[in-house]
Amino acid sequence: MSEAVLVYLNGRYLPPEQALVSFQDRGFVFADGIYEVIRCYGGVPFRLQAHLNRLAESAAAIWLPPPPLEELNEVCRTLLRRSGLAEASLYLQVTRGAAPRQHLFPPGVPPTLLATVQPADVPPPATRETGVAAVTVPDERWDLCQVKSIGLLANVLAKEKARRAGAYEAVFVRDGVVTEGASSNLFAVWNGRLRTHPAGRRILAGVTRTAILETARAAGLAVLEDPFTLEELRQADEIIMSSTVMELMPVTRLDGAPIGAAVPGAVHRTLAAGFAALVEEAIRAGR
């Protein structure tokens, strides 16, 4: 992970070493907060409004006051401009502020507003060419997975399990149903038909996921937002993971066994080309 090069904290732009938060911040004490990660291409934040809208939805879901979206929009653009970075990653976090530790919401405490910019964390190019390995893990998260909560312990443990198994990503399975990755959404292909878990409380509906669904429909692919089981997944012709950081990532091995021909497939190629076109379009349009 790259180092943040510039930070915005509660109204001020600061070098990282001066951006300090109270030990009583509820983000630190309770993971009482929400976040977003936004990829910037050619100096343009990709689908910024969609990320800000999701931040607002996450805030509403945890009873935080609505975040100042216009200010955050401006902050993102200012951080990016001042960083001088073209390929960058923006991080936004809002917590319920700093107050003496007690579970109840503290009255009259302003939220902590953090934004950082750093060079984009790009997966090694070889991973996209060969595909990556994934392992399945029980989905032990809470029941509000649509909230982009900073409480990511279950995701962190799943990712570490994957790393220790020599895999790139963990795939969550709940009651036999595949939900999503530790930090990604998951698509699978059977006989040219694309499927992904429906949006709702079981997954975080990714901004990349939406872009891929648009791309798939525009390419005339059959697309279903329908749950599928792990048994079905093992028989898939292709598996593709998606996230802001990974973009599209083909999975060619699951729990050590090959998926399809164990090489990135035709649907992945179509979708990756479509996604690249969306990025090009965003760069050209400047938004």
Judged by CB, which is closer to ligand PMP: 97, or 136? 136
Does 272 contact ligand PMP by CB under 6 A?
no
Helix spans in the chain (H): 26-30, 48-61, 69-83, 125-130, 153-164, 207-218, 230-234, 266-285
Tokens of 108: 């009259």
Q: Is 89 in the site for ligand PMP (CB under 6 A)?
A: no
C-beta of 36: minimal distance to ligand PMP in Å?
Answer: 8
Taking the least distance from each CB to ligand PMP, the nearer of 58 and 155 is 155
Is residue 208 near ligand PMP by the rule CB under 6 A? yes
Judged by CB under 6 A, does residue 94 bind ligand PMP?
Answer: no
Instruction: Indicate if 159 belongs to the active site.
Output: no
CB of 184 to ligand PMP, least distance (A): 5
- Catalytic pick from 51, 141, 148, 174? 148
Question: Scanning the structure block, which residue is given the tokens 């997975």?
Answer: 145
Count Cβ atoms within 10 A of the Cβ of residue 264 and give its class: 0-12 exposed, 13-18 middle, 19 or more buried: buried
Cα 2 from Cα 5, distance rounded (Å): 9
Size of the site for ligand PMP (CB under 6 A): 14
Strands 238-243 and 223-225: unpaired
Q: How far is the CB of 244 from ligand PMP (least distance, A)?
A: 3
Task: Show the binding pattern over residues 18-47: x = contacts ligand PMP (CB under 6 A), - = does not.
Answer: -------------------x----------
Site membership for ligand PMP, residue 207 (CB under 6 A): yes
Does position 184 interact with ligand PMP (CB under 6 A)? The reply is: yes
Q: Closer to ligand PMP at the Cβ: 98 or 254?
A: 254
3-state class (DSSP) for residue 135 = strand
Distance of CA 151 to the CA centre of its chain: 14
Does residue 93 touch ligand PMP according to CB under 6 A?
no
**CA-CA distance, 47 to 208, in Å (whole number)?**
9
Which residue in 58, 136, 185, 215 binds ligand PMP (CB under 6 A)?
A: 185
The region of 26-34, 64-72, 102-110, 241-249 touching ligand PMP under the rule CB under 6 A is: 241-249
Q: How open is the CA angle 255-257-261, to the nearest 5 degrees?
A: 135
| Residue 232 exposed, middle or buried by CB count within 10 Å (0-12, 13-18, 19+) | middle
CA 236 to CA 250: how far, in whole Å?
12
**Taking contact as CB under 6 A, which single stretch among the options 102-110, 191-199, 213-221, 239-247 is the one that binds ligand PMP?**
239-247
Which residues, in sequence order, are CB contacts of 94 under 8 Å at separation 6+? 33, 34, 35, 55, 59, 64, 67, 111, 112, 113, 114
* Contact residue for ligand PMP among 4, 204, 213, 240 (CB under 6 A): 204
Catalytic residue set: 148
Q: Which residues bind ligand PMP (CB under 6 A)?
A: 37, 155, 180, 183-185, 204, 206-209, 242-244
